[in-house]
Amino acid sequence: MRQGEVAPTGKWIGDPSGGVKAPAPLLLPDPATRFARTAARLETLSAGHPMRDWLRFMAQLATAQHAATAMSAPPAGPGAAEVQLAVEARLPPLSADGHRLGPVWYDGLAALLNHLDAAPIPAAARATIARLRDREAAKVLADGFLNGSVDAADAGALLYVAAALQVDFTRLAASLPAAELRLLPQRGLCPCCGSTPVAGVITASGPTPGVRYLHCALCATAWNHTRAVCITCGASGALELREIEGGTGAAKAEVCGTCHTYAKLLYQARDTSVDPFADDLATLALDLMVGEAGWARHAPNPLLLIG
């Protein structure tokens, strides 16, 4: 099952009521289009943007991620029995915390770095890439990233490590049996890998327009989450929407007065081309605005490591 395909709903908690069609609980990613779509969106958003050069660099990184999906062998995912055990225990079958990296992961990183080496990138980036040619050093950084143990001094190298992990986990998630998966009790976490979302998208078309899908920052799985409910604490009585004055209205911050966190919402009705991964990077001004007003981001973007 790929992005946009609907998982069966018969076994899911919560049945459709009346004649209203229930939204698909989750949508697995399509590695063949995930990174190419983000790269194209970043190029579009970079035009006239105050951070044009940086967004174009991130577009190059997304293009390198796309190349890595084709240039390296796919990782071996969990077996059917492992998936079943995890689902029965209400755990993510690809739990990022404690995930054991196979050798294929470094092949993906190497493919990504090789692609960037051939691109016009800054000298500082080339120096960082050279450091990551050491397989063991790269694995130490990757293990630390997955277990939440990162050093600010490694931020430059972790950008590429996180990008390679996104490739790895996106391909792993795409290989899972969608019909067997279940949403987690912690609805704000990805049902495939247990990571936090990068942003939510409010749909404008399809069988159930107007619903919110959270998009996993690591494996790109999208899952349905009730609107007007804080994805961090689950409260609903103290939510507000904030946006940049004079903007298009396509990106807003849902701020919670209960836990004092915020999450981004992207509205397809305002821009049908929104991409959660690209648009999150291009709307850092929104992060700064709500951050200065006292709210903390619900979780960092793995390519920025801020929060």
pLDDT tens per residue across span 89-115: 999 999 988 788 888 889 999 999 999
- Answer with the one of 141, 174, 207 that is the final residue of a domain: 174
Looking at the structure of the chain, the number of domains it has is 2
Residue 8 in this model has a pLDDT that exceeds 80: no
Question: Does residue 5 lie in a domain region?
Answer: no
Same domain, 107 and 202: no
**pLDDT tens digits along 155-194:** 899 999 999 999 999 999 999 999 999 999 999 999 999 9
Token output for 284? 């850092």
Instruction: List the end-to-end C-alpha distance of the chain, in Å, as a whole number.
Output: 32
Residue 116: CATH number of its domain = 3.90.1670.10
Q: Using CA atoms, how far apart are residues 152 and 135, in angstroms rounded to an integer? A: 20
Quick: pLDDT tens for 212-247: 999 999 999 999 999 999 999 999 989 999 999 988
- Establish if 254 belongs to a structural domain: yes
Residues 166 and 214 placed together within one structural domain of the fold: no
- Higher-confidence residue: 293 or 149? 293
Number of H helices, E strands in the chain: 9, 8
pLDDT tens readout for residues 183-198: 999 999 999 999 999 9
Do 156 and 250 lie in one domain? The reply is no
With 0.75 as the threshold, say if the pTM is over it.
yes
Answer yes or no: do 37 and 115 share one domain.
yes
| Same domain, residue pair 202 and 147 | no
Give the structural domain span for 67: 31-174
Same domain, 226 and 131: no
In a domain? residue 72? yes
- How far apart are alpha carbons 252 and 244 in whole angstroms? 8
User: What would the mean pLDDT of 131-142 be, rounded to a whole number?
Assistant: 93
- Mark whether 163 and 61 lie in a shared domain: yes
State how far the Cα of 126 lies from the Cα of 245, in Å rounded to an integer: 38
